[in-house]
Each structure stands twice: as C-alpha cells, then as structure tokens.
Structure 1
C-alpha cells in the first residue's frame, strides 16, 4: 500500500535556528501519527511542511491524495454570522459540514466574533470536514474543547482513519488515536 505521506531527509529551520532534521517518515492510509515535543520544537512547522505551505530547509515530501489542515486560523469573517461565514466556504468546497453533530446548528445566526474559543474550534472542524480532503493535518485539535468536544474529535479522527484517511496530529494533550505512531521531534532536534 502506497503511503499517504512520505518525507525523506526533511530538515526544518526557523530563521537562523535549526529545529530538527534530518527526518524520514511514512504515514499510510488509515494510520495516525502523533507529533509531540515541547513548544518551539517545530510541530506546527512539520504540519505546514506536510501541507505544502512551508518549504523545508532540505528534503522532500510526497503526498498521495488530498490534505486539509486545521490550525489556529479558522479563517471566518468575524463580522458575519457563523452560517454566512461557513456558507462562503461551502460554495468553494461543497462537501457536507455536519453542523448539528458539531454543535453548531444553534449558532448559525451568531456573529463569528461572539463565538467562544471552543465554538471556533468546532467551526474549524466544520471547515476541515467541508473540504472533503482524504487526509487530515491537525494542529492542537483539542485546545479549548470540553470533554464532549474531545470525544467528538477523537471519534471524527477514528472515522477518517476507518475511511482510509491518514491523520497527523500535533498535540500537547493526550489524545486517543487508533493505529498511531508517535514521533517526538526532540529525537530529531538539532
């Protein structure tokens, strides 16, 4: 089975500081990879490299299939009602967003600027799912979520994996992942 994401010889630098590398990895469809390490080690940079949004200092990444990234930037118009803001993205990425399941169906008339941090995280999850990408890259997906929200994220990840999607998660918090490998970036720190 071909890997969803293969990285060879990756080296990551922030400014003049070498963060980690060289690094080789392969994540196959249906597998999860949990990126760990202290703040500033380059977990978010690793996800951005995997998404193709950041160039590594050295090495290469090969992707098989579509990838979607959930990070701290939800990219919703703060002045719009949540329903209007999500509808904008739905016109671009027409996959269904499970608004009721995410607890957003009662918030569609609320301006985005009034949403709590946890509600914004759920809106980000709606956007992620709405992209219809096969594989997910998740940066701190449990931040600001209550116990029910954490359980929901873990269930969504398990469902994505069961459907053949690879999931790479950067998280400081414990998270239940099926068939997960753990990559502590400290073991590759410069």
Structure 2
C-alpha cells in the first residue's frame, strides 16, 4: 500500500531515496506539497520507518555529499595550479607530470656531463631556452616548492571543508583562495 509524507522542498528526492532501502521506481514517487515550500514523497508504507530515518539523517548526509564534491574541486584546482601556475624567473613553464619527469632526468643526465654542459629546453610551445646543470637544479627546486605550496593550500582548504559543521560554513570557504 502506498503512503505519503510531506517534506521540505529543499530535499532532493533522488538523494533522499538513496538514503533508504527502496530500489526501483515502483515504491517511490514525488509530487507537489500543500504549500510552495513543501513537496510530497509517495512510497510503499512498508518503508515508512526507513523514509522517516532518511529524512532525519538528510542534512548530515547532504553535508557529507557536498563536502566530497568540494574536496574533489580542491583537487582539481590544485592540479590546475601546479600545471598552469608555475614560472621560473618570470618565465612561465607548464609543470605537468611529463615536465616534472623531464626535469629529474635532465638534472641527472647533466650531472654526469662535463662542467658547462647545457641542454635546450622548450619552456612553452615554440619557446626554447638553454639551461645548464645549475639552472635545471634551480628550476627543479622551484618546481618542488611550487608543488608543495599547492598541496599545502589544498590541505588547508580540505581541512576547512572537513571541519565545516553546516552548509553555511561550507559555503563560506573560498576555494579559489591561495592558489
């Protein structure tokens, strides 16, 4: 037998259903509520306790879901900051994993070459510079610091996200800060 429950319109019905043991469409539906800020969920009355428990747990579950999304956003911002935000002595250098690997290899190879040896390096598409061992070492050190700064900022933001007690506090965290 079907039954109904009036709930706030702020609840996402699909997410609410995911918090229950209800599977499939036969035992779940939604419709308008008695007022504009209310909606009606329709479900098999065998799931009444489950739906009520889901409604009661909704805010904590929704907050956890939003936090997970924000943490993923921080990871994407970190990756972007690492790759596109690096420069050495005013020269922008794309710092993707291939470049990081090439810096390590170049430093190792140049350290085995005669003093004064240098390599040609494409710093950005079509822009070449010649670097010696000391310069490659300095670029590598600067890249390391750049990457670490991005991870430190990501950790700071992630800690703030995890500490947020509600959506208001979570929404107050400026994810674009510190990059």
- Report the TM-score, using the length of structure 1 for normalisation: 0.20
- Which is bigger in relative contact order (C-alpha 8 A, separation at least 6)? 1
Rg comparison, structure with higher value: 2
| Structure 1 or 2: more helix by fraction | 2
